[in-house]
Amino acid sequence: MNDDLWTTYESPLGPLTLIGGETGLAALHFPGRSGPLDESRRDGGAFAEAVRQLDEYFAGERTSFELPLDLRGTNFQQRVWETLRGIPYGTTRTYTSLANAVGRTDHVRAAAAAVGKTPVPIVVPCHRVIASNGDLTGYLGGLQRKRALLEFEAGVSQHEPAPAVWAARQLSLL
């Protein structure tokens, strides 16, 4: 994938902007989160596999992503993002358990900050991390999208609601 190619994916959560890096998908932005992009670098074909997997995810047919990623961050951020990818579909973890999983029990806030900087949300399921008391906390796409993703995954895991019904409901909420 070429660095700085991009496309827009129409999701049940609104249009998502996919941005390529040198070796894979480098960013996924929620509506209103992308800066100006060079229209001449728009190339939907470069993202065919990412679009296919996102379609499968939102249809309730995919529980994890198998895409080449180009995640740029510190070593600690990289460890956090890799750990996020291991959180099972339809489940949540706390920021404390995430810090423990990366071997830094004393770095809960740093782990939370790394979650907040996840460059490809949904693909790297940062929405699956919640506060120790069960509260939903900050999410780049907004708490309503975080809640929607968690409810969607829980529903698919329990075989209801049907993804199409869920998607229609989410569009009306945003």
| Catalytic status, residue 126 | yes
Q: Could you confirm whether domain 75-173 is CATH 1.10.760.10?
A: no
* Own/partner long-range contacts of 153-162 (Cβ < 8 Å, ≥24 apart): 153/89, 153/90, 153/128, 154/90, 156/60, 156/89, 156/90, 157/89, 157/90, 162/60
Summarised one tens digit per residue, pLDDT across range 86-103 is: 999 999 999 999 999 998
Residue of 101, 126, 149, 167 with catalytic role = 126
- 64-73 in b/e form (b: 16+ CB < 10 A) is ebebebbbee
131 CB neighbour count, 10 Å cutoff: 14
pLDDT of residue 107: 87
Q: How do the domains of the chain map onto residue ranges? A: 6-58, 75-173
Residues of the chain with pLDDT > 90, as a percent, come to 68
Residues 126-149: pLDDT tens digits? 999 999 999 999 898 999 999 989
Q: Quickly count: other Cβ atoms within 10 Å of residue 146's Cβ.
A: 21
